[in-house]
Amino acid sequence: MRYLPKSPSERREMLEAIGAASVDQLFQSVPEKFRLREPLPLPGPLSEVEIIQYFQARAAENARGYTSFLGAGVYSHLRSVVTDALVQRGEFLTSYTPYQAEFAQGTLTAIFEFQTLMCQLTGQEVANASMYDGSTALTEAVLMAERLTSRHHVLIACSVHPEYRQVLATYAKNLGLTIEEIGYSSSGQVDRAALTPEKLAATAAVIVQSPNFFGVLEELPALAESAHAHGALLVTTITEAVSLGIVRPPAEADIVAMEGQALGVPPSFGGPYVGVIATREKFVRQMPGRLAGQTTDAAGRRGFVLTLATREQHIRREKATSNICTNEALYALVATIHLCLLGKEGLREMAAQNLSKARFALAELEKIPGVRRVFSGPTFNEFTLEFQRSVKLINAALLREKIVGPFALGTKYPELTKRALVCVTETIPRAEIERFAAAVRRILETPV
């Protein structure tokens, strides 16, 4: 087997040195009746080329070559080949969590840079590296708010990603944390009238997403002000981090839980991605996840170490801030390299292109009879439309034209049937936007 570096005679030699008559002798502590007699019924073994053929066949069964107008938490953006070339260096790819700092300065330096970039993007003072994804980052941020306020109730906008809310509910269920959902107004923003002083005074945090699941930006400064006036925290989640290239950062929020996928991580059918929590310096000891800090060696040279580990499970066990151990370090590195390449101007330009492309698509689609914009609030690269027909039927017809249609909101919001969330990033050429609009027009014109 090509991955195993021993010859049959070396195996014999090693067994002799151990003093074992056979390899079976090394497994004598496994009770006889539990030892497998037959080889496992597994497919393979496959050579390298057969493995490639298997996966190429699977790739052909997917939406390869389709144009997609799906966003809803996962975004396709341009990325440079440089990113993959660098993260595939064995020194990054095949190294462990940097507990032995002197032998892991590469990873630690990159983590420190990632933390800095995340602070710059979010307008927050500290950021961790990292959480599993946006959904678990949000859940951990909410648990953190509960610890900080000693309040055990939270208000969450139902315009937060539905799957994020599901994850929060799963975690909260056995922890005595209750969750109340807040509706949305005609702008698509959280219904501020529902955030009454009585409710705010009893809540650990107000939780919103911006841009929210309908694509609409929330008015974070005003939300922060009303939460703070009643001793509650503002927790903000971001699924489309490219928006931060032009959109005002959530500096007023107390905790930001971000999905970093849009920052150079491929969609990859849902993961791996990279979650981040960013917050105020004074809250850092209640923040879960790994942190790299700057220090020096005996000669005064700058170096980096994992720090404030007394928050973490390997030290504190059942008293830890979280059970997280393995995180998404390699994808934090992907985001770091991608943002360094893109740079200050590139990120801004990418964000501005998303805005322009989405506005162009909106205008094209709004021209179609039977298509109407739903929410009046400001949007970035996603917007909600109402169609005269079922989104499911429209999407089925689009799929036949190699177009992955917009996200059908009715599956998660029964009151929003016939509404769909359209996403347009810089990766979609104008001609494809026009082909999409023409297809939608044709589908809507076709008699049922």
Partner 1 sequence: MNPKATETELAADTNVTASRHVSRNEGLIFEKSASGKRGMEIPPLDVPAVDPATALGRDFLRDSIEGFPEVSEIEVIRHFTRISSWNYAIDLGMYPLGSCTMKYNPRVNEFVARLDGLGTEHPQQPAEASQGCLRILDDLQKCLLAITGMDAATLQPAAGAQGELTGLLMIRAYLESQGNPRKKVLIPDSAHGTNPASVVIAGYEVQNIKSNERGQIDTDHLREFVSGDVAALMLTNPSTLGVFEERIAEIAAILHQRGALVYMDGANMNALAGITRPGDFGVDVMHLNLHKTFSTPHGGGGPGAGPVMVKKILEPFLPVPVVVRKENGQYALDQNRPQAIGRVRAYCGNFGVLLRALAYTLAYGPGIRQATEDAVVNANYIRKHLEDSFDLPYNLPSMHEVVFSDARQKKHGVNTIDIAKRLIDYGFHPYTTAFPLIVPGAMMIEPTESESKEECDLFISAMRAIAEEAESNPELVKTAPHSTRVGRLDEVAAARKPILRWKP
| Cβ-based nearer residue to partner 1, 115 or 203 | 115
Query: Is residue 369 part of the contact set for partner 1 (CB under 8 A)?
Result: no
Q: What is the DSSP letter of 304?
A: E
Contacting range for partner 1; rule: CB under 8 A; set: 18-26, 182-190, 226-234, 437-445: 18-26
Supply the Cα-derived Rg of the chain in whole angstroms: 25
| Cβ-based nearer residue to partner 1, 230 or 248 | 248
Smallest Cα–Cα separation from 143: which of 175, 119, 181? 175
Minimum CB separation of residue 203 from partner 1 in Å reads 21
Structure tokens at 238: 């971001």
| Cβ-based nearer residue to partner 1, 198 or 326 | 326
Q: Which of 21, 345, 415, 447 binds partner 1 (CB under 8 A)?
A: 345
Smallest Cα–Cα separation from 262: which of 351, 326, 130? 351
CA angle, 357 then 363 then 366, to 5°? 135
Minimum CB separation of residue 224 from partner 1 in Å reads 13
State how beta strands 205-209 and 178-182 pair: unpaired
Query: Is residue 242 part of the contact set for partner 1 (CB under 8 A)?
Result: no
Contacting range for partner 1; rule: CB under 8 A; set: 144-152, 189-197, 228-236, 305-313: 305-313
In angstroms, rounded to a whole number, what is the distance separating the alpha carbons of residues 339 and 336?
5
Contacting range for partner 1; rule: CB under 8 A; set: 180-188, 197-205, 225-233, 317-325: 317-325
Q: What is the DSSP letter of 82?
A: H
First-to-last C-alpha distance (Å) of the chain = 59
Smallest Cα–Cα separation from 357: which of 335, 383, 376? 383
- For residues 151-170, which are near partner 1 according to CB under 8 A? 161, 163-164, 166-167, 169-170
Query: Is residue 376 part of the contact set for partner 1 (CB under 8 A)?
Result: no
Query: Is residue 298 part of the contact set for partner 1 (CB under 8 A)?
Result: yes
Query: Is residue 229 part of the contact set for partner 1 (CB under 8 A)?
Result: no
Query: Is residue 360 part of the contact set for partner 1 (CB under 8 A)?
Result: yes
Could you give the C-alpha distances from 292 to 129, 234, 295, 317, 428, in angstroms and in order? 8, 25, 10, 20, 37
Query: Is residue 414 part of the contact set for partner 1 (CB under 8 A)?
Result: no
Minimum CB separation of residue 272 from partner 1 in Å reads 4
- For residues 43-102, which are near partner 1 according to CB under 8 A? 43-46, 48, 50-52, 54-66, 68, 70, 72-74, 76, 78, 80, 82, 84-98, 100-102
| Cβ-based nearer residue to partner 1, 331 or 375 | 331
Bridge partner residues of 372 (DSSP): 386
State how beta strands 255-259 and 275-279 pair: antiparallel
In angstroms, rounded to a whole number, what is the distance separating the alpha carbons of residues 44 and 336?
38
| Cβ-based nearer residue to partner 1, 184 or 380 | 380
C-beta atoms surrounding 203 within 10 Å: 25
| Cβ-based nearer residue to partner 1, 295 or 388 | 295
Question: Please, are residues 140 and 131 in contact by the beta-carbon 8 Å criterion?
Answer: yes
- For residues 195-214, which are near partner 1 according to CB under 8 A? none
Query: Is residue 104 part of the contact set for partner 1 (CB under 8 A)?
Result: yes
* Dihedral Cα 44, 46, 50, 54, nearest 10 deg: 40
In angstroms, rounded to a whole number, what is the distance separating the alpha carbons of residues 372 and 384?
9
Question: Please, are residues 185 and 134 in contact by the beta-carbon 8 Å criterion?
Answer: no
- For residues 264-283, which are near partner 1 according to CB under 8 A? 266-272
| Cβ-based nearer residue to partner 1, 164 or 387 | 164
Query: Is residue 133 part of the contact set for partner 1 (CB under 8 A)?
Result: yes
Minimum CB separation of residue 201 from partner 1 in Å reads 27
Query: Is residue 150 part of the contact set for partner 1 (CB under 8 A)?
Result: no
Q: Which of 252, 308, 386, 401 binds partner 1 (CB under 8 A)?
A: 308
